[in-house]
């Protein structure tokens, strides 16, 4: 086992067989935190964004916050109801992409895929950046280093997810459930205090908010509608992550569709409860929250400027500090699990992105490497690709959530709309052939849900585009266009390669002549073995080829060649500039050029070694030569291995690994009880 294998074993754990894929499937209790952490974590920043937008017109606009919360809740419940139809109709894990592909065609499916890919990257970047901001608020020494903290968090999440879906789900389940307990518990206790008349004020309740320039005085109807639309579009960040469950249906235990639909319903109920509770408590407690970059909006009760060292805490922190004023441990518990859940929210994307990438790879719209499972049966290449793109975005925007949030949710609402339209066509098509009355009623009900969902999400998409386009949404649209073009180009390439490789009648023709070349560096055992093997293949002509870079070495080799009397001629290629690869490539090309229907077979002796560092000491010229010859038409490259003694070390290591009994093998039936002693 080399250094790379040892490192992978330490970081990722031992390899899993393909037959163990069923062991990685998730029960509902694990699937909920794995796939819903993104949507649930939005409770930590969606209310903040609503209050920031409303603060543009002053604190008086906060009276609209609970109505905006209800509108967001209505959209979420509608979208969840629509996706419950999707997971039953398309349980293979394609989600919106599959719905669009089957019902709307290739371009629609690529558009959905582009939107989802961008949204998954944004989910990681926004969630991790927000968590880094929480960390910097708790640890002042981290201020100014948020991008570094966020990058480190992405790397850690990547390593955990590379260990496999089930194992990462076990890591994330406890913190997610603790977050639910913390927020719902705080909300319940706050409501009890409200009903009893003992609800305290928030720390910012004594402050006033000065409207931004142009928003002073009574608002016109148009201005008010635009303000509410901006606040609503920001609050719709709470819907991100809802689609991840429809893309992750294959990861659920059976019955997959039923379990996924149940998880969707639980997600909606919990997220809506959290969102509305926080908004209502914030209103009742007099929370004042503005854009962190525009703290000069805040004024003291007398209208004076706030202190220069004033620190604005997030809405959840202000509520928790006031509600648990007499019990600080509860406050720290709420703030801590909120920061943790923001990191874990990115896990939703780490589960959804690789699955979508594997489906795109299977259909030829993405590199096929994205469809390969790693040692732990996770789509490792997709996980790493997502991490790299998210880190790039975090560094580019210096992990500033307020900038990244403007790029958010555009992609997900594009996919929502196309998915709803696709589902309407799905039900309409099936209704034309279905004759069972009960089943027709169910389909008509499902189509009505999707129709209502399409109307609602279309309105939201228009609002989001209008209110966020100039604030950064154009970057998201540009990124979607880039992914769309790249996927079309990849598909075109794969289709072209498939046509080029298709077998036809001309492939039956045999070459008129096979000219074999055995590369010679010294006349030793590897060379003699290569000569013997080449002779056994009975080519039309056979010769050894030696590149001369030193006259004394060449003379000595020629003398040994004559003494050995191999019966095979030796061709010496003189290289005045001491190049080895180029003369061989040119010689092989010249032979091929003289007879275009012939084949030149180049036999390369190679050492087989057992230690990783020995690879650096041998075969380097052979590797470079093979790389060049691969691009030469009509030239075949044959490696002739010669096993050095150290290669036995690698063989023994593999045999020990093959017969080693791992923990749990007996319980899983992979080894019999009476075999345990013989295999140790």
Cα angle for residues 101, 103, 106 (degrees, 5° grid): 35
Length of the chain: 680
Hey, what are 189's tokens? Answer: 């206790």
CA separation for the pair 190, 86 (Å, rounded): 37
Q: In the prediction, which pLDDT does 240 show?
A: 75
pLDDT score for 5: 46
230 and 52 Cβ atoms separated by less than 8 Å: no
DSSP string of 48-93, one letter each residue: HHHHHHHGGG-GGGGGGHHHHHHHHHHHHHHHHHHHHHHHHH-TTS
pLDDT score, position 20: 42
Of 3.40.50.12280, 1.10.274.10, 1.20.1740.10, 2.60.120.620, which CATH number belongs to 17-214+225-303+312-494? Answer: 1.20.1740.10
CA-nearest of 53, 44, 47 to 464 is 53
DSSP 305: B
| Stretch (H or E) spanning 412 | helix 410-431
User: Which pLDDT value is given to residue 26?
Assistant: 74
In this prediction, residue 1 carries a pLDDT of 44
The listed CATH number (1.10.760.10, 3.40.50.620, 3.30.565.10, 3.30.1180.20) that belongs to domain 513-644: 3.40.50.620
Rg for the chain, CA atoms, rounded: 33
Residue range(s) of every CATH 3.40.50.620 domain in the chain: 513-644
Decide: helix, strand or coil at residue 520. coil
Number of neighbouring beta carbons within 10 Å of residue 529: 16
pLDDT number for residue 491 = 93
pLDDT number for residue 172: 66
Residue 487 contacts by C-beta under 8 Å, 6 or more apart in sequence?
110, 113, 114, 360, 365, 366
pLDDT along the chain (680 residues), means of 10: 43 46 65 77 83 88 92 90 86 79 91 88 85 73 84 87 60 83 94 93 89 79 87 82 74 84 90 93 92 82 80 87 91 87 77 82 87 64 89 86 72 87 92 90 91 88 82 84 93 88 68 90 89 92 93 91 90 88 92 89 87 73 86 90 76 59 50 47
Cα–Cα distance measured from residue 448 to residue 22, given in angstroms and rounded to the nearest whole number: 36
DSSP string, 215-234: --SSPPHHHHHHHHHHHHHH
Q: What is the pLDDT of residues 52-93, one digit of tens each?
A: 889 988 888 899 999 999 999 998 898 898 888 888 888 876
Determine the 3-state secondary structure of 17 from DSSP. coil
pTM of the model: 0.69
Beta carbons of 232 and 33 less than 8 angstroms apart: no
Q: What is the pLDDT of residue 93?
A: 65
Burial track 567-596 (b if 16+ CB lie within 10 A, e otherwise): ebebeebebeeeebbebbbebbbebbeeee
Could you tell me where in the chain the CATH 1.20.1740.10 domains are found? 17-214+225-303+312-494
pLDDT at 573: 94
């Amino acid at each position: 086992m080399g250094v790379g294998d040892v490192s992978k074993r330490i970081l990722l754990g031992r390899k899993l067989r393909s037959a163990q894929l069923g062991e990685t499937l998730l029960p509902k209790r694990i699937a909920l935190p794995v796939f819903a952490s993104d949507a649930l974590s939005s409770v930590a920043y969606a209310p903040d964004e609503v209050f920031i937008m409303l603060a543009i017109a002053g604190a008086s606009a906060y009276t609209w916050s609970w109505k905006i919360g209800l509108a967001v809740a209505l959209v979420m419940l509608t979208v969840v109801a629509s996706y419950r139809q999707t997971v039953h109709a398309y349980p293979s894990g394609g989600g919106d992409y599959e719905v669009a592909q089957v019902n709307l065609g290739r371009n629609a499916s690529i558009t959905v895929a582009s939107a989802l890919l961008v949204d998954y990257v944004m989910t990681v970047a926004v969630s991790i950046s927000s968590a880094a901001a929480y960390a910097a608020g708790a640890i002042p020494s981290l201020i100014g280093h948020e991008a570094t903290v966020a990058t480190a968090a992405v790397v850690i999440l990547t390593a955990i997810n590379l260990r496999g879906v089930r194992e990462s789900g076990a890591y994330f389940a406890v913190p997610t459930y603790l977050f639910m307990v913390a927020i719902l518990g705080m909300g319940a206790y706050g409501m009890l205090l409200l009903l009893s008349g003992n609800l305290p004020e928030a720390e910012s309740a004594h402050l006033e908010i000065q409207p931004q320039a142009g928003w002073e005085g009574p608002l016109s109807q148009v201005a008010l509608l635009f303000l509410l639309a901006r606040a609503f579009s920001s609050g719709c960040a709470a819907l991100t992550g809802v689609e991840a469950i429809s893309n992750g249906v294959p990861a659920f235990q059976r019955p997959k569709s039923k379990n996924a639909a149940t998880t969707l319903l639980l997600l909606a109920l919990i997220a809506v409860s959290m969102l509305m509770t926080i908004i209502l408590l914030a209103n009742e407690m007099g929370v004042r929250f503005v854009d962190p970059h525009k703290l000069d909006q805040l004024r003291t009760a007398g209208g004076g400027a706030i202190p220069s060292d004033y620190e604005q805490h997030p809405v959840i922190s202000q509520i928790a500090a006031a509600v648990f004023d007499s019990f600080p441990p509860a406050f720290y518990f709420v703030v801590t699990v909120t920061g943790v859940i923001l990191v874990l929210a990115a896990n939703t994307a780490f589960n959804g992105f690789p699955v979508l990438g594997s489906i795109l790879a299977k259909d030829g719209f993405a590199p096929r490497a994205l469809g390969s499972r790693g040692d732990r049966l996770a789509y490792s290449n997709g996980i790493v690709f997502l991490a790299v793109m998210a880190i790039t975005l975090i560094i580019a925007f210096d992990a500033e959530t307020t900038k990244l949030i403007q790029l958010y949710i555009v992609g997900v609402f594009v996919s929502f709309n196309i998915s709803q339209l696709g589902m309407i066509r799905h039900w309409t098509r099936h209704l034309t052939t279905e004759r069972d009355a009960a089943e027709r009623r169910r389909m008509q009900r499902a189509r009505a849900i999707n129709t209502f969902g399409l109307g609602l999400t279309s309105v939201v998409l228009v609002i989001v585009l209008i209110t966020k386009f100039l604030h950064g949404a154009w970057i998201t649209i540009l990124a979607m266009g880039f992914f769309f073009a790249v996927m079309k180009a990849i598909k075109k390439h794969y289709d072209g390669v498939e046509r080029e490789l298709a077998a036809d009648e001309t492939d039956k023709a045999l070459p008129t002549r096979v000219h074999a070349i055995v590369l010679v560096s010294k006349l030793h055992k590897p060379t003699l073995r290569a000569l013997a093997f080449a002779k056994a293949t009975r080519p039309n002509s056979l010769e050894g080829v030696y590149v001369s870079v030193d006259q004394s070495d060449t003379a000595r080799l020629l003398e040994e060649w004559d003494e050995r009397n191999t019966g095979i001629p030796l061709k010496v290629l003189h290289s005045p500039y001491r190049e080895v690869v180029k003369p061989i490539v040119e010689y092989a090309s010249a032979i091929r050029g003289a007879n275009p229907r012939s084949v030149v077979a180049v036999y390369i002796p190679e050492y087989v070694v057992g230690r990783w560092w020995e690879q650096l000491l041998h075969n380097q010229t052979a590797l470079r030569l093979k790389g060049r010859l691969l691009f030469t038409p009509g030239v075949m490259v044959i490696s002739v291995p010669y096993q050095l003694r150290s290669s036995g070390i690698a063989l023994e290591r593999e045999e020990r690994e093959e017969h080693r009994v791992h923990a749990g093998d007996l319980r899983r039936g992979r080894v019999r009880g009476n075999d345990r002693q013989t295999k140790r």
